[in-house]
Amino acid sequence: MSEFIPMGGVWAVLLTCATFQLGQYLRKKTGSALCNPILISALIVIAFLVAFKIPNDTYQSSMKLTSWLMTPCTVCLGIPLYTQLQRMKRNLPAIMTGVVTGALSSLVIIGGICLALSLDESITVALLPKSITTAMAIPLVEPTVGLVPLTTSAVIISGIIGSMAGQAMCRLFGILHPIAQGVAYGTASHVIGTSRATELNELTGAVGSLSLVIAGVLTAILYPFAMMLFV
Amino acid sequence: MKYLYPFVVILAFTFLGELLNYFLPLPIPASIWGLLLLFAALRLGIVKLEKIESLGNTMIGLLPLLFVPPVVNLLGCWDVVRQNLLAIMGIIFLSTVLVFGISGKLSQLVIDRKGAEEDV
């Protein structure tokens, strides 16, 4: 297998895109949120790397193009924010109430449980900002003793939970309005939840973008205080 | 080459975001600066929506795919995570569900209280 590795990394991009496509097909076919394309694709890629003994670093360096695209693609979320602004302007108080309370309770819930379980400082500090997007969470954790790979994983798992179970949670909690749903997706599951929300409803996606920005900035400001409180 | 112009615009805002992230001592990443700047430019009419909307929406559609490699990266820190797996997964799951419920439900309550005048 290793003789394929120098071939410009096309195999890695093909594997990722094809398995993602399979995941989308399965979700459409089964209608089940459990068939999350990100999760299905990642699991197949992991199985493939393990089976053929290809180092993760080789895969990651072949996928440099996609990690590079992450920043400009996130910038594009400014477009639905603009097109949907009229529809959410009057609901700014509702959006702010949800996001501020959500961001605060995220820190308190995580910090509280970590303290109660007396987990190691390196874990607590890494988990605290896990509801915000990777690009915002990593710079917060990096200067501390926190485990950065754990932060990345926790952030992405939070995103996948929102993207998989978001609709079920909306029914469970009685979150019916597209704006309130957007607040929930953006505050609890950042960019991953928001990109799922955009597929469901453009307004929900736009509110998700706004919410993830506010939640991210707020968490960044409150992070040092949460560290003092819970570590 | 109808996608070249919008691609240049989006990259320009990404680059502006990187500059702000570099020069301003704030914990705001380049992608979020870029998002806010692009939004502001659309509001101010500096960038025309029709010119970038099609490519922009395509790129937003690409986002979930881009998160596959970071998930595969879990392989890299598996040893650390495994020792506290149950506690970590419990915290992630519980806090995500609670934050989702609290933030969404509170917004819903504020919207409900304002009644039918908000006809969105």
Q: Give A7's pLDDT tier (boundaries 50, 70, 90).
A: low
Mean pLDDT (chain A) is: 89
Burial, B52: exposed, middle or buried (Cβ in 10 Å; 0-12, 13-18, 19+)?
buried
**pLDDT of B116 higher than 50:** no
Q: Which of B96, B105, B110, B119 to mutate to test the interface with A (most CBs of A within 10 A)?
A: B96
Domain spans in chain A, listed from the N-terminal domain onward: 2-73, 93-230
A41 contacts in chain B (CB < 8 Å): 65, 68
Q: Give A4's pLDDT tier (boundaries 50, 70, 90).
A: low
- Token look-up 């009419």 returns B45
Buried b (16+ CB within 10 A) or exposed e, A66-94: beebbbbbbbbbbbbbbbbeebbeebeeb
What does the alpha-carbon distance between residue A212 and residue B92 come to, in Å, rounded to a whole number? 17
Task: Tell me what the mean pLDDT of segment A92-109 comes to.
Answer: 96
Q: What dihedral do alpha carbons A128, A131, A134, A136 form, nearest 10°? A: -70
In this predicted structure, what is the pLDDT of residue B25? 84
A115 contacts in chain B (CB < 8 Å): none
Task: Tell me what the mean pLDDT of segment A143-159 comes to.
Answer: 87
Task: Tell me what the mean pLDDT of segment B57-62 comes to.
Answer: 89
- Token look-up 């609901």 returns A91
Beta carbons of A38 and B67 less than 8 Å apart: yes
Q: Give B111's pLDDT tier (boundaries 50, 70, 90).
A: very high
The pLDDT tens digits of the residues spanning A162-194 come to: 999 999 999 999 999 999 999 999 999 998 899
Contact A129, B95 (CB under 8 A): no
Whether the ipTM is more than 0.90: the answer is no
Q: Give A131's pLDDT tier (boundaries 50, 70, 90).
A: very high
Nearest to A208 by CA among A227, A230, A189, A229: A189
In this predicted structure, what is the pLDDT of residue A3? 56
Q: Which amino acid is at A189?
A: S
The pLDDT tens digits of the residues spanning A60-89 come to: 998 988 888 989 998 998 898 898 887 788
DSSP structural state of residue B118: -
What does the alpha-carbon distance between residue A128 and residue A52 come to, in Å, rounded to a whole number? 36
In this predicted structure, what is the pLDDT of residue A72? 94
Task: Measure CB to CB from residue B28 to each of A19, A192, A217 and give the nearest one.
Answer: A217
The pLDDT tens digits of the residues spanning B11-29 come to: 999 999 999 989 998 777 8
Q: Is A126 helix (H, G, I), strand (E, B) or coil?
A: helix
